[in-house]
Amino acid sequence: MKEPVMPALSKEIAGLVFAVLAVGMYLFQRFLEEPSWFAAVTAAGFGIFAAAFTLLFCYIYGDAKRRNMNAALWTVLAIFAPSGIGIILYFLLREPIAACCTQCGTRVQAGFAFCPHCGANMATAACPQCHRIPQPGWSHCASCGAKL
């Protein structure tokens, strides 16, 4: 069974963000004596927008954790970098999804020919000279040029 990308409490956190911001915005607008329908619509819209960004940040945290990256650092960068630059950088620079070793279960970066923990062979057809994993259909290794 695949593990979920989103952390377990992400929906609850987004719901709480929506409720707090929507109610707070509604009360603030009522204090400014806006019409009640306008206050309700804008407060709900603001709450939905904030909840959607909360879910995005929860996704970045879970996805970075799944890819063996520094999840807390990438989440903070995504939240605080101006104009969404942190979000864009995350999606451009994220690592490939880590594989699990069949022998010991340790997460191993994609592209490793052997598990760094137990030494098990991670691929059936590694390069005989440099031990890197070639892509299917290659006749020669792209790293060292050896015939496969």
- Contact assessment for residue 30 and residue 36, using Cβ atoms and an 8 Å cutoff: yes
Categorize the per-residue pLDDT at 87 as very low, low, confident or very high, splitting at 50, 70 and 90: very high
Categorize the per-residue pLDDT at 2 as very low, low, confident or very high, splitting at 50, 70 and 90: low
**Burial, 115: exposed, middle or buried (Cβ in 10 Å; 0-12, 13-18, 19+)?**
buried
The domain locations on the chain are 10-95, 98-148
- Percentage of residues in the chain having pLDDT higher than 70: 95
**How far is residue 6's CA from residue 95's CA, in Å, rounded to a whole number?**
17
- What is the rounded average pLDDT of the residues 124-136? 75
Gyration radius from the chain CA atoms: 23
The pTM of this model reads: 0.69
pLDDT recorded at residue 125: 66
Categorize the per-residue pLDDT at 86 as very low, low, confident or very high, splitting at 50, 70 and 90: very high
Categorize the per-residue pLDDT at 123 as very low, low, confident or very high, splitting at 50, 70 and 90: low
Write the pLDDT tens digit of every residue in 28-53: 888 888 788 888 899 999 999 999 99
Residue 16 above 70 pLDDT? Answer: yes
